[in-house]
Amino acid sequence: MTANTTTEHHRYLVLGAGPAGLQLGCFLQAAGCDYVVLEREDVPGGFFRRYPRHRRLISLNKVHTLDDDPEIRLRWDWNSLLSPSSRPLFAEYSSEWFPHADAMVAYLTDYQRAHVPAVRFGTDVREIARTDTGSGFRLRAADGRVFTGDCLIVATGWGGPYVPDIPGIEHAVGYEDAPVVPEAYRGKRVLFIGKGNSAFERHPLARPRRADPPRLTAADAPGVAQQAPRRRARTVRRTAGRLLVQNPARRPGMRDRTDPPGRRRLPGVDRLHARRR
Domain annotation for the chain: domains and CATH numbers:
7-154 (3.50.50.60), 169-245 (no CATH)
pLDDT bucket at 214, cuts 50 / 70 / 90: low
Distance CA 21, CA 13 (A): 10
Nearest to 86 by CA among 156, 147, 26: 26
pTM for this one? Answer: 0.71
Lowest mean pLDDT among 92-96, 168-172, 188-192: 188-192
Question: Bigger pLDDT: 19 or 231?
Answer: 19
* Percent of the chain scoring above 70 in pLDDT: 71
Nearest to 219 by CA among 172, 156, 274: 172
**Element (DSSP H or E) covering residue 28:** helix 19-30
Half-sphere exposure of residue 98: CA atoms within 13 angstroms, side-chain side: 7
